[in-house]
């Protein structure tokens, strides 16, 4: 067994390790073969050649040009990378296909994850695909219904733990130190991020250039780090010259990184009881916090916090002005973008991509909490009556 596939945390500082690619010569981007998706970039994803790829055709999600929201903000070019169209409805599939491929190759019996919801949905599906066992640890009562339903449907063993995601993650880290039966696939496992970095590759492929700014919701902070890594690799491989600025958006009730950033601190003060309607980013102690601060600092970006109300308004705007149904965490980047335009961090002329990380159906309760005119009719003729009233 190759040791680097099973060491995750630095033995000294306990922070997650990174995978580093070395480019001895330029990458011939034009020669990258195949149809859109994560595995199109296999030559840049360091899994062993002999590994059988466990895939559900993840990635290849659309980069959608805003028709109205961008105009309303006075922006020249706003684009939305709709990661909700992945096989299980979130970007987590990009990392899970790599993680489960490795777990199977390494001979593990199964996988385990802590999750605010989407990681468990994705892990359960990919484990099923690989005929492997899947154990998920969830914060009790805090997982959106769509996500929990997926974990159940795909047959995962579910452990609901009192506390927050951070407690669930602690359980998985400790269990992974004790036992080698189950491969841990949270984002402290740097191999998962090797799949997620393909978001950057795809944005470049679809846009034909590097955007000026990329805005990402931040929970455990793996994704923003992964996307930054992807762009940096394109530069190191001689494919691009410029890099985007990376912006992270947290929810006010779970914003340890935004606080550290605005205070100019390079330490993290965890939030003990994180709270927000955006359950996917309801995390008080982001394990990848050092990587995320580095991404934002190196790229010249920032991390901001937005309120739940601003998140709900952004969710509504994407749904009603663009036709895009995203879960609350995925609307946070648009809410953050409003702030970043106001503070002139991002200019209205700059090509900006927001990452819509997950689908609206993940959290049906919040989707249905928005106001809409609903009438009741006791009969078809009463319904006709109401329709007449609406069009007259
Ligand atoms: C996991 C997740 C996030 C947060 O990503 P991190 O890598 O934990 O920062 C944001 N939105 C959605 C929908 C997610 O599932």
Q: Within 13 A of 123's CA, how many CA atoms are on the CB side?
A: 31
CA of 392 to the centre of ligand 1 (A): 46
Q: If pLDDT is split at 50, 70 and 90, which confidence band does 79 have?
A: very high
- Determine whether the shortest distance from the Cβ of 218 to ligand 1 is under 6 A: yes
Q: Which of 329, 354, 367 to mutate to test the pocket of ligand 1 (most atoms within 8 A of CB)?
A: 329
pLDDT for 308-335, tens place per residue? 999 999 999 999 999 999 999 999 999 9
Asked if 214 contacts 134 with a C-beta cutoff of 8 angstroms, the reply is no
For 223-275, write each residue's pLDDT tens digit: 999 999 999 999 999 999 999 999 999 999 999 999 999 999 999 999 999 99
Quick one: what percent of the chain has pLDDT higher than 90? 96
28: pLDDT strictly greater than 90: yes
Q: Encoding tokens for residue 228?
A: 């930054």
Backbone angles phi, psi at 9, to 5 degrees: -110, 145
Ligand 1 atom at shortest distance from the alpha carbon of 358: 13
Tell me the Ramachandran region of residue 325: left when phi exceeds 0, alpha when psi lies from -120 to 50, beta otherwise: beta
Partners of 358 in beta bridges: 90
Region of 210 on the Ramachandran plot (φ > 0 left; ψ -120 to 50 alpha; else beta)? beta
Q: In angstroms, what CA-CA distances link 322 with 83, 216, 356?
A: 15, 19, 12
Ligand 1 near 287 CB (within 6 A): no
Contact 350, 214 (CB under 8 A): no
> Does the Cβ of 187 fall within 6 Å of ligand 1?
yes
Which ligand 1 atom minimizes the distance to the CA of 83?
Answer: 13
Confidence at residue 205, expressed as pLDDT on a 0 to 100 scale: 97
Residue with tokens 């489960």: 100
Residue nearest to atom 13 of ligand 1 (CA): 358
CA of 90 to the centre of ligand 1 (A): 8
Domains and CATH numbers, the chain: 63-88+194-368 (3.40.50.1100)
Under the banding of pLDDT at 50, 70 and 90, the label for residue 2 is: low
What are the tens digits of pLDDT across the range 166-194? 999 999 999 998 888 999 999 999 999 99
C-alpha to C-alpha distance for 57 and 87, rounded to whole angstroms: 7
Give the dihedral of Cα atoms 31, 240, 335, 373; nearest 10 deg: -30
Q: In what order do the strands lie in the sheet with 182-184?
A: 157-161, 133-139, 110-114, 182-184
CA distance 41 to 88: 20
Q: What is the pLDDT of residue 261?
A: 98
Mutual angle of helices 222-236 and 289-299, in 10-degree steps: 50
Ligand 1 atom at minimum distance from 329 CA = 11
**How far is it, in rounded angstroms, from Cα 126 to Cα 130?**
6
Q: Is 78 helix (H, G, I), strand (E, B) or coil?
A: strand
Write down the pLDDT at residue 3. Answer: 57
Q: How many CB atoms lie within 10 A of CB 356?
A: 30
**216: CA distance to ligand 1 center in Å?**
9
Q: What spacing in Å lies between the alpha carbon of 175 and ligand 1's midpoint?
A: 23
Amino acid 217: pLDDT: 98
**Distance from the alpha carbon of residue 317 to the mean position of ligand 1, in angstroms:** 20
Neighbours of 350 (CB within 10 A): 17
Residue nearest (by alpha carbon) to ligand 1 atom 8: 220
pLDDT the model gives residue 317: 98
* 184 contact partners, CB below 8 Å, separation of at least 6: 8, 111, 112, 113, 172, 173, 175, 176
The H or E element spanning position 158 is strand 157-161
Residue to substitute in 357, 359, 361 for testing ligand 1 pocket (most ligand atoms within 8 angstroms of CB): 357
Alpha helices in the chain (DSSP H): 69-72, 92-105, 118-129, 145-153, 165-178, 190-196, 198-207, 222-236, 256-262, 289-299, 308-317, 328-342, 364-368, 380-391
Q: What is the DSSP letter of 287?
A: T
Average pLDDT over residues 117-146: 97
What percent of the chain lies above the pLDDT cut of 70? Answer: 99
Please work out whether the CB of residue 219 comes within 6 Å of at least one atom of ligand 1: yes
Separation of 326 CA from ligand 1 center, angstroms? 12
Q: Quick count: other Cβ atoms within 10 Å of Cβ 159?
A: 16
pLDDT, residue 189, reads 97
Rounded average pLDDT over 57-81: 98
């Amino acid at each position: 067994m190759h040791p680097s596939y099973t060491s995750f945390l630095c033995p000294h500082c306990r922070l997650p390790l990174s995978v580093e690619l070395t480019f001895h010569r330029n990458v011939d981007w034009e020669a990258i073969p195949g149809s859109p998706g994560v595995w199109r970039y296999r030559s840049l994803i360091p899994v062993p050649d002999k590994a059988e790829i466990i895939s559900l055709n993840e990635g290849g999600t659309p980069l959608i040009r805003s028709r109205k929201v961008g105009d309303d903000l006075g922006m020249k070019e706003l684009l939305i990378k709709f990661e909700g169209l992945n096989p299980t409805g979130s970007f987590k599939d990009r990392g899970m296909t790599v993680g489960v491929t490795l777990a199977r190759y390494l001979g593990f019996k199964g996988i385990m994850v802590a999750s605010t919801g989407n990681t468990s949905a994705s892990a359960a599906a990919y484990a099923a695909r690989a005929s492997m066992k899947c154990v998920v640890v969830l914060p009790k009562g805090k997982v959106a219904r769509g996500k929990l339903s997926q974990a159940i449907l795909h047959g995962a063993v579910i452990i609901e733990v009192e506390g927050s995601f951070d407690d669930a993650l602690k359980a998985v880290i400790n269990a992974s130190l004790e036992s080698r039966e189950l491969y841990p696939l949270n984002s402290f496992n740097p191999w998962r991020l090797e799949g997620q970095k393909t978001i950057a590759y795809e944005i470049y492929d679809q846009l034909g250039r590097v955007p000026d700014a990329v805005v990402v919701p931040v929970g455990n902070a793996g994704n923003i780090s992964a996307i930054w890594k992807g762009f940096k690799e394109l530069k190191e491989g001689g494919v691009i010259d410029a890099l985007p600025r990376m912006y992270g958006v947290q929810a006010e009730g779970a914003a340890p990184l935004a606080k550290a950033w605005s205070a100019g601190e390079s330490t993290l003060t965890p939030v003990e009881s994180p709270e927000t309607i955006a359950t996917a980013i309801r995390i008080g102690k982001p394990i990848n916090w050092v990587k995320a601060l580095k991404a934002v600092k190196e790229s010249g970006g920032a991390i901001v916090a937005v309120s739940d109300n601003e998140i709900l308004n952004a969710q509504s705007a994407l749904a009603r002005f663009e036709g895009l149904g995203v879960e609350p965490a995925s609307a946070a980047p648009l809410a953050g973008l409003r702030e970043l335009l106001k503070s002139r961090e991002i200019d209205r002329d700059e090509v900006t991509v927001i990452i819509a990380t997950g689908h609206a159906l993940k959290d049906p309760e919040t989707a249905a909490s928005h106001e809409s005119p609903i009438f009741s009719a006791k009969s078809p003729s009463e319904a006709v009556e109401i329709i007449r009233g609406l069009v007259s």
